[in-house]
Structure 1
Amino acid sequence: MAVTCSSPAQASERVDVNASGVRLAVSASGRALVTYRARGRTFHLLVWGAVNARPPSQTVRQVHFRFDWSGGWKTSHRLVWKHFKNRCTKYDGPELVYALAACKAPDGSYWALQAWQPYLPHRGYPPWLPRETEWELHVSHWTGPLAKLGAYTDWAFNGQAHDLFGRLTYLDNPVYGFGIGKDGAPNDRYGRSLYIDTFDSAYGPGWKRETSISFRRGSGAFCYSFWPTHDKTLPGYPNNPRPAGNGKRYRITVEGPGVTPDLQWEGAGLHDFNPNSRADVEYEQRMDSVFMQFLGNDKFCSTQR
């Protein structure tokens, strides 16, 4: 099991929700213009001042954007967006998930806009509030390689439960924060949550949100096992039993560190563990070895085998 978070971290790259008509432009000076409609209005957002990500530090702040929602009036005392000259060219960078727009700036860096649903209810429960189906729009700016999200399927507790574990790194440094809020989500700009979806599970056909948890401090790793549960974030608690959500496939979505793009991992699920199967026993032993490399020194996850 793992500590769950009921709301996403407030990442620096968050722009808005339920945006339509999204467009991206970048000037010769490296300032981006994000144009979109939301709540019946058109927005012209200027974005600048950050690229990539810093390794975790308690003394140096993580990079974050500067936003001008007035289209330039607040910072330049004129409507910059009206005369904004786009110098961004065709995107030729790494493949992105949930991309709405992406381009290559004159200095060779990349900008992108992505939108996905971080607020879906846990345990495959149907959304019951408008906020839970919102599509959150993110902006990113980077050079070089993206962060790497590695994940593994496994069994835990002598095969009693299906299990996922892995690690998020950026430029070979683990990605993690230094604090967790009451809702289980990171409360600083370094921390990141991961959002686990399960496919064709006991919750029903198709993709369903299983949970969201945080990467572990120090290691940038995570561990999660699937059990029947009573989720306090859902209606009817504690009289709301939900089955174990292990499925045929899994996907994990993560907000990129700093102002880098959001990432996703997807992989096949496992059959139930068979202690009489040599293949299952050997696979479990191999995964235990990898698990201990990532999480052997973690006070919580090291007990979840």
Structure 2
Amino acid sequence: MLAVLVLAGSAHASQLIDRNANDVRLMTNAKGEAMLTYKVGGKLKHVLVWGAINAKQPNPNEKQVKFSVDYSGGWGKYNRKIANYWTTFGNKCAGYDGPDLPFFITGCHAPDGSLWAVQSWQVPLPDLGFTPWTAQLSAYELHISHWKGPIAQLEVWSDWIYGGKFHDLFGHATYDGRPIYGFGTTSVGAPTDRFGRLIYLDTLDAPNYGSGWQRENSFVPHNPTGVFCYGFYTFDPTKGGYVHPSGQTAMRGPGVGKQYRLTLDGPGVTPDVQVMIDDPGDYDANDPSKVAYEKQQNAELDSILNGDKLCRQH
């Protein structure tokens, strides 16, 4: 089974601006700027964003592109000489005509032909199917992106590993035809540079977690292949850096569900992208169709490895 997201002619990723925003509006002008207007906790905010587009390919000697952000709405950028810049901003936002995006709030087609988009989703959900127990863990992050040209792409397949004992997902992440990866992670797998991006895995109606979508885990595409793989095992929430509610120390999972949702925090300042894939069901060595499917998926895995040493298990 293959799930693939291909959005030719556009690019995806984003930069965090705020949390739990509502009444979000976006303006763009002919100077390559974007003005976000929104409310948080009833307080009106104006945020000016500029200075970045698309993404650089991984290079340890360079820095990934990043927006400049003025939370005073332009007063800081223009040396405190222009008050209420949003009132004279010169909005040139044409209707958004880019690709469908997950968690999309609003977008613009800018005068130079580039696209801007705003997305809002629950990035910090706890892993291993825990229900968020703090406001921080249930927060919706507001992301903005700016791109023109090729986009990030996720390809994902599902099968089993270790002779059909465990359910498994594998795939690769690319941008402009080249692998997405970073140059380091923390001891618990978080990227240590802006080239590294996380893939967030959610599971639907997993019997061990309950109904609805739950966060199973997150992980990075591998350096230098952009390949990733994930086995649905049981996990100890007290080990590996997992955030868990006080007193809940029992083993968790496996998070096998009906369907899986993978969301890539795209490279540079391109939008976040997402792909969904069905679970293949339990393996049965006496079912010729399951045996043939596993053989086909193993061949698919071998075809994308490109030397990857971490995802060779069938």
Distance 1:88 1:266 in 2: 31
State the alpha-carbon separation in 1 of the partners of residues 286 and 184 from structure 2.
Answer: 43
- Show structure 1 runs of 5+ residues with no match: 1-10
What is the aligned partner in structure 2 of residue 4 from structure 1? none
Q: Which residue pairs with 1:29 in the alignment?
A: 31
Taking the TM superposition and a 5 Å limit, the aligned residue runs for 1:149-298 are 149-202=154-207, 203-232=209-238, 233=242, 234-235=244-245, 239-295=249-305, 297-298=307-308
CA distance in 1, matches of 2:163, 2:246: 32
Instruction: Return the TM-score normalized by structure 1.
Output: 0.92
Q: Deviations over 1:143-169 (max 9, x none)?
A: 123211111111011100000111111
- Give the Cα–Cα distance (whole angstroms) in 2 for the partners of residues 33 and 40 of structure 1: 19
| Counterpart Cα distance in 1 of 2:301 and 2:14 | 30
* Contact 2:225-2:306 within 8 A present in 1 as well: no
Mapped to 2, the partners of 1:281 and 1:230 lie a distance apart of: 31
More helix by share: 1
1:3 maps to what in 2? none
Runs of 5+ unmatched residues, structure 2: 1-12
Match of 1:59 in 2: 61
- Amino acid in the other structure paired with 1:70: S
Sort the Cα spacing of 1:238 and 1:88 in 2 relative to 1 into closer, same or farther, 3 A: closer
Q: Decide whether the 8 Å contact of 1:230 with 1:241 is kept in 2.
A: yes
Root-mean-square deviation (Å): 1.6
**Contact 1:100/1:114 (CA < 8 Å) preserved in 2?**
yes
| Aligned pairs (5 A) from 1:40-51 | 40-51=42-53
- How far residue 184 of structure 1 moved from its aligned partner, in angstroms, is 1.4
SS in 2 for 1:131: coil
In the alignment, the residues of structure 1 paired with residue 164 and residue 292 of structure 2 have an alpha-carbon distance, to the nearest angstrom, of 13
| Contact 2:183–2:193 (8 Å) recurs in 1 | yes
SS state at 1:201 partner = coil
Q: How does 1:10-159 map to 2 (within 5 A)?
A: 13-76=15-78, 77=80, 78-79=82-83, 80-159=85-164
Conserved in 1, the CA contact under 8 Å of 2:54 and 2:270?
Answer: yes
1:152, 1:165 within 8 Å by CA — same for their partners in 2?
yes
Shift of 1:181: 1.6
Q: Distance in 2 between matches of 1:231 and 1:99?
A: 32
- Measured in 1, the distance between the counterparts of 2:246 and 2:75 equals 49
